[in-house]
Amino acid sequence: MNAQGSRWVESGFFQADAPIVKMLDAEASGRYDHYSEGFSHFSPKFGLQFKPTEKLTLRGTFQKASAFRALLKRAGPM
């Protein structure tokens, strides 16, 4: 069986960094994807960076992502 077709993805991304105090920075970013299959997904990411000394930096992040893009790559062309 031979099937032909096409699909597309429209994406947008943003990132913002903000110093809170001298030793603490915050970061927020996100990615929005809209798929030709009829659905959309937003993946946010938030992070903090704490630098109490010149030689020590602590970082923490939270991210929510979708595995759909990886599935599209694995499925191959339509």
In the chain, the percentage of residues whose pLDDT exceeds 70 is 78
With b meaning 16 or more CB within 10 Å and e meaning fewer, what string describes 40-75? ebeeeeeeebeeeeeeeeeeeeeeeeeeebeeeeee
pLDDT, tens only, 10-32: 999 999 999 999 999 999 999 99
pLDDT, tens only, 30-47: 999 898 888 888 999 999
Tokens of 67: 């595995």
CB atoms within 10 A of CB 25: 17
pTM greater than 0.85 (yes/no)? no
